[in-house]
Structure 1
Amino acid sequence: MVTVTLATTFALTVALAFARSAPADHSALPETVSTLLLLLPDLERRRDELKLERGRFNKARQQAESLSADIGEDFHSLPIERKRALILHSLSAVLIHPAGKGRRKFDPSLIEPIWR
């Protein structure tokens, strides 16, 4: 069952009147308000899906912005969990090059980060 408010009925009536008065080809447009009311549940469902998608997009954008904002702060003052999250978000891979023959002591120049 579809619940139709006075505002919805008015909006549909105005849309139908506008569509009929526009100069473009209207062979695909519904003829009556009752036809528009039959289309209403699908349109409302699609609207709700788009609102959900917009919410997910905004959440992802805010998370990305917060990550970049944290990088601007003093990195050393952040808790270890936040440092780890920033590094994992920023790195794609880490290449460790061979040390070669002979005495093998730690050489940081053999470590190559691959940034995103």
Structure 2
Amino acid sequence: MRRRERRISAIRALDLIEELEKEQNDLRRERRKLQALKVQREDASPNLLKDWDGYSVSEKKQRLRQSIRAVMVHPAGRGKRFDPELIEIVWA
């Protein structure tokens, strides 16, 4: 048995086009914001290590929150001591 093709009205098609165009504009705006944030981070990064010792603890925390996306600690195995090599930082 063959399925009958479903068609949408011209009015519904125009409504859908308007919705998609709005979504497209929203996504473009979001992409521009993210690109600007990326440039801002890249501009701040070269000075980060140079200025690190001059930052307060709260400034260091803020910089790390902006720069680190995730921290993964891989298992060491039973009875093994802490190994900092098992820590993986995922940078933003």
TM-score for the superposition, normalised by structure 2: 0.48
Question: Using CA pairs below 8 Å that are at least 6 residues apart, which structure has the higher relative contact order?
Answer: 2
Question: Which has the greater radius of gyration?
Answer: 1
